[in-house]
Structure formats: C-alpha cells, structure tokens
Amino acid sequence: TADGPLKGRHVLVTAGPTWEPIDPVRYIANRSSGKQGFAIAAAAARAGARVTLVAGPVHLETPPGVDRVDVESALQMADAVKRALPADIAVMVAAVADWRTADVAKEKLKKRGSAPPALVLTENPDILATVAARPDRPPLLIGFAAETQDVVKHAKEKRKRKGADWIIANDVSGDVMGGDANAVHIVRGDDVISLPEMPKEDVARILVERFTDALV
C-alpha cells in the first residue's frame, strides 16, 4: 500500500449494479457503471488504505493497489461484504437491486404458449442497513442515494432509516449514471455540503479527504 493519511486503515467499497437472475440466460439489472465507486476505491488506495472493492458486474479495470471481489447478485454482494469486515470505513456505492426474482428458473424460460411469464419479485436484503446493525459496524459508514427528485430531503431520511453516518446524495435525473461527471451533496445530519459538478475522480478525492478528516 502507498504511504498516506489512510495508512494502516481498511476501506471497504461496494460498486456497480447487481444482476438478479431470472433463468440461466436472463437477468434484471440497472444502469450503474461502477465509475464513482471504483474512483473512490482508487482514491482510498492512493491515500494509503488497504482497500477491498466488492464489485458487481462492470467493465472497469481494477485500480492499482485494490483487492477486488467480483459478485453478481445482491445476495452474493451481501455475503462478500460480511466476509470483508471489519473495516475502518465502509462506502456503499453499489446500486443494489431492490428486488430479485422469488424463484430462479433452472432451465431457460420458453416463449411457446400464449401468456408471457409473470416475474414474481421478492425484496433483497439492505446491505447498508444490515452492516449498520452489526456489532462490527465500521466506525465510519457511508451510503449513497441516487434520486431523481428532492435529492437532499430523501438523503436525510435515508441516513436515519439506514443507520449510516453520512449519505452522499446525487441527482441521477441527467446522465450521471454511466457518465464521467457527478454533482453530490454530503449529508451528515442537518449539515449538508454541496459540491459543484466535477469529474467522478475529483468527487472521489474530495470524499476520501473528508472521510479521512472524520476518522479519529
């Protein structure tokens, strides 16, 4: 690991989407590219941390000095996160699917017959909330909130509901998902810091500086 202010610290980052299988060839996914999470993992490694990056399926290179664990589904991500703990800082950037199919078909679903199949969904575990409730909860636990309206208001509620220390809120009504720039609000209770739009690498560097300052 590099020398820096996070030397000797373990930072856990989740990033990317999850894929929820329907049958052996189909899945439900979302538009997360993983770029913001990968940039945070890279910035933490540059700051000297040992970094575990639990990544959903994305087309991105592993940043230098980062230990990457690849997963597909939310259940696999939850399991990988549990195994990566303890951590000094956990940053849950992944766009975890809220729902998975209640039953994964063992064989490929067939088109023959008249009615299309009905997908029955069931709720995935909330990884962030689960980590918040664990005895080995990281001392600094950060969530993300992608919203298309009332971004800060929803982020404040989400922070309380999930038991995170901070929520990084971003407005994804534009082309943030998959894009190279992001404008975020750092919601730490009633105190909110809003950053202007900038490249995701710069957002990552500033966030990691803030995380470092918050560690005791």
Distance from chain centroid for Cα 75:
14
The residue among 45 and 131 lying less far from ligand C5P, judged by its C-beta, is: 131
Decide: is 33 part of the binding site for ligand C5P (CB under 6 A).
no
Distance of alpha carbon 196 from alpha carbon 189, whole angstroms = 20
Cβ atoms 207, 168 nearer than 8 A: yes
Q: Select 49 or 94, whichever has its Cβ closest to ligand C5P.
A: 94
Q: What are phi and psi of 50, to 5 degrees?
A: -80, 125
Residue 204 touches ligand C5P, criterion: CB under 6 A: no
Q: Is 80 in the site for ligand C5P (CB under 6 A)?
A: no
Instruction: Look up residue 6 and give its DSSP letter.
Output: T
By the rule CB under 6 A, 145 interacts with ligand C5P:
yes
Query: Nearer Cβ to ligand C5P, position 47 or 155?
Result: 155
Q: Does 144 bind ligand C5P (CB under 6 A)?
A: yes
Select from 25-33, 89-97, 190-198, 207-215 the region that touches ligand C5P (CB under 6 A). Answer: 89-97
Q: What is residue 106's DSSP assignment?
A: S
Interface with ligand C5P in residues 39-78 (CB under 6 A): 74
104: tokens are 């994964």
170 is catalytic: no
Binding footprint of ligand C5P, residue count (CB under 6 A): 13
**Interface with ligand C5P, residue 170, by CB under 6 A:** no
Contact positions with ligand C5P (CB under 6 A) in 174-203? none
Query: The tokens of 80 are what?
Result: 């990988």
The closest of 95, 111, 103, 108 to 29, measured between CA atoms, is 95
Consult the annotation and say whether 125 binds a ligand. Answer: yes
Among 12, 45, 127, 187, binds ligand C5P (CB under 6 A): 127
Q: Is 150 annotated as a binding residue?
A: no
d(CA 84, CA 176): 28
Helix (H, G, I), strand (E, B) or coil at 167: strand
Q: How do 140-147 and 89-92 pair as beta strands?
A: parallel
Q: Closest distance between ligand C5P and the C-beta of residue 216, in Å?
A: 23
Closest CA to 5 of 48, 65, 51: 48
What does the alpha-carbon distance between residue 18 and residue 73 come to, in Å, rounded to a whole number? 5
Q: Residues annotated as binding site for CTP?
A: 98, 108, 125-128, 144, 158, 162
Chain residues in the site for ligand C5P (CB under 6 A): 14, 74, 92, 94, 96, 124, 126-128, 143-145, 158
Q: Which residues are catalytic?
A: 30
